[in-house]
Amino acid sequence: MNLTKSFPLLAAVLLLLAGLAACSGSDGHDSKYIPEQELHQLDAAIAASDTYYTHTKTQLRDMETRASRLRDPAQRGLAYAELANQVRFLDADSAINIADVAISNARQSGVDSVVTLAHLSRVNALTSAGIFNLAEREFLDITEGNLSPQSRLAYWEAGRNLYSTLQLYTQRNYDLSQKFARQAMAYDDSLIRHLPERDAFRSFLVAERLVVSGDNQKAKRKLEALMKSVDPNSNIYGMAAYQMALVYKNLDDERSYAAYMAKAAQANVRQSVREGLALFNLANWLYAQGELNKAFGYINFAMGQANDANARMRTANIATMLPLIDDAYRAESKTSHDMLIIYFVILALALFILGGMFFYILMQSKRGKENARKLRELSQAQKRHIANFLALCSTYYHKLNSLEQLVQRKISSGQTDQLVKLLKSGRYTEDKEDEIFKYFDRTFVEIFPDFIEQINLLLRPEERFPTEMSKKGLPLELRIYALVKLGITESTRIAQVLNYSVNTVYTYRNRMRNKAIDREHFEQQVVDFQAEQES
């Protein structure tokens, strides 16, 4: 095939296929609820999660170094207990080991309050690790009446942490979950009564209680004030953002729910809190919205974080949702793949051919005037086809306008019978089709001047077509195989393009195969001629 002559057609096909692929690639999801800015900020935090983790690890390592250098066993016990309470957000199993060190030092000191605080740090670590039976047993071994005021606050907080976690873990068992909720609430009551009025954690507990009771507007005001008063990167900020998300969920504000859940997840990532619920809930919400790529990415990140932290309960939660998101993600990917595979393959082939053409022309242009002439011919062919196409469009616009005026005149004068007779005559359709097909034949023969010769090589000598036939236009059977040569091979599609019945197209194709030297491979040989010429 002459590359310069085929360029306009291939370029037009390339643009058409690119448009089809772009349209098909749209997922069609309604994004009005998606908080793009907050998700973008969360993505940035996730991308930097290793940096945050390294920073947190460095801080904890410094805490451990300072604890190990303390000479007083009581001070060492308190320092290791505080370290265990911090480490449990990163690695629950390591926190259990550190709590054991705290208990050992506390026992050496002989100070009961220090021993109690060390044991409570172990209860917290066991809770984070999901070892609930042991955590509850060790918690119940501690007698509240013998505690100092400082130890009581830690005791109530550990009880709240244990039983609120158990409430989440047993959500499918309503009675048991409600039992744990009441126990957690009792410890909340004690904390609210005894924590200082302006304590941030107390403010959070009050706001959380308002959310649970359904007083959403008051809870919203409390949480807004709390979030303004604390560091946006702090753990308490993430907890408040999580509760604010629940407030908006209760108010049926889906976008704000997702936005605040994203803020809570972002705070968790920056604080290296690997057992948080926010990212898990956000992934579930995105899954429900059909945003499977985001949901799949977040749920996998959350699973990795929970595994690294040895947070068994959170891992179990995520494991229940991960297969659903994964299956939906794979199903959508397969559906999208099935819809776009043809467009992408053809587009890739067209790009490959077009790239080859440009490379060929570029290389040949360096060899002298002959290539410059080819480029000029290429430009002229492009202009000619564009001008012809625009002229054809203009012609049919004016003809359509004339037909519209004729219809209006006939209807206005009451000559509907004449109008129907005129339309049935085919005057306004058949001659138009003939003109379109003549334009197609001229353009195709100009692009593929050797088309009839190629077809004749595949036919028996007595069945071959006169080569001068191309000047008068292509007969129907050659027009059908012109479309086959262009890649339109299905009879139903050919019938639509040529405005014939499928049976007619099938009959003419069968007739041509009967004339072929190799009937079985005739149509493939027509296509192979195309590939050979392009190469």
Q: Which domains does the chain have, with CATH numbers?
A: 447-535 (1.10.10)
Q: With 70 as the cut, is the pLDDT of residue 124 above it? A: yes
pLDDT > 70: what percent of the chain?
Answer: 73
Would you state the structure tokens that stand for residue 461, as one six-digit string? 């000598």
* 370 CB-near residues (< 8 Å, 6+ apart): 364
- Label residue 299 by pLDDT band (50, 70, 90): confident
Secondary structure string (H, E, C) spanning 188-205: HHHHHHHCCCCCHHHHHH
Nearest CA among 173, 90, 80 for reference residue 129? 90
pLDDT tens digit sequence for 441-466: 877 777 778 888 888 899 999 999 88
212 vs 481: CA distance, rounded Å: 73
Report the largest interatomic distance among the alpha carbons of the chain, rounded to a whole angstrom. Answer: 114
Lowest-pLDDT choice from 73-87, 144-158, 203-217: 144-158
Per-range mean pLDDT, top range of 255-259, 370-374, 473-477:
255-259
446 vs 27: CA distance, rounded Å: 40
Nearest CA among 397, 430, 435, 441 for reference residue 500? 430
- Label residue 284 by pLDDT band (50, 70, 90): confident
Burial 371-390 (b: 16+ CB within 10 A, else e): beebeeebeebeeebeeeee
Q: What SS3 state is found at 511? A: helix
CB 394 within 8 A of CB 402: no
Q: With 50 as the cut, is the pLDDT of residue 1 above it? A: no
Mean pLDDT of 257-282: 88
The dihedral formed by the CA atoms of 360, 363, 366 and 367, expressed in degrees to the nearest 10? -70
* 222 CB-near residues (< 8 Å, 6+ apart): 203, 206, 207, 210
The DSSP secondary structure of 454-480, one letter per residue, reads HHHHHB-GGGPPPGGGGGT---HHHHH
pLDDT of residue 100: 96
- Using alpha carbons only, give the angle 7, 477, 520 rounded to the nearest 5 degrees: 95
- H/E element holding 97? helix 92-109
Q: What are the DSSP E strand ranges found in 371-492?
A: none
Amino acid code (one letter) for 236:
I
Nearest CA among 323, 249, 270, 364 for reference residue 53? 270
pLDDT of residue 24: 45
pLDDT of residue 61: 94
- Residue owning tokens 């407030």: 247
The DSSP secondary structure of 41-95, one letter per residue, reads HHHHHHHTHHHHHHHHHHHHHHHHHHHHH--SHHHHHHHHHHHHHHHTTT-HHHH
The more confident residue out of 145 and 134 is: 134
- Label residue 295 by pLDDT band (50, 70, 90): confident
514 vs 503: CA distance, rounded Å: 16
CB-count burial class (<10 Å; 0-12, 13-18, 19+) for 311: buried
pLDDT tens digit sequence for 397-446: 566 667 677 777 778 787 777 767 766 665 555 555 667 777 778 777 77
Q: What SS3 state is found at 127? A: helix
The more confident residue out of 391 and 478 is: 478
- H/E element holding 533? helix 522-534
CB-count burial class (<10 Å; 0-12, 13-18, 19+) for 149: exposed
* 361 CB-near residues (< 8 Å, 6+ apart): 3, 4, 371, 374, 375, 378
Would you state the structure tokens that stand for residue 69, as one six-digit string? 């250098």
511 vs 348: CA distance, rounded Å: 34
- Using alpha carbons only, give the angle 455, 459, 462 rounded to the nearest 5 degrees: 125
Residue 459 phi/psi, 5-degree rounding, is -105, 155
On whether the pTM is more than 0.75, the answer is: no
pLDDT, averaged across the chain: 80
Measured CA to CA in angstroms, residue 512 lies from 169, 438, 468, 502, 528 at distances of 72, 21, 19, 15, 17
CB 128 within 8 A of CB 147: no
- Label residue 356 by pLDDT band (50, 70, 90): confident
- Label residue 309 by pLDDT band (50, 70, 90): low
pLDDT of residue 317: 52
Mean pLDDT of 278-293: 85
pLDDT tens digit sequence for 10-66: 555 544 444 544 444 444 445 568 889 999 999 999 999 899 989 999 999 999 999
pLDDT of residue 298: 86
CB 131 within 8 A of CB 90: no
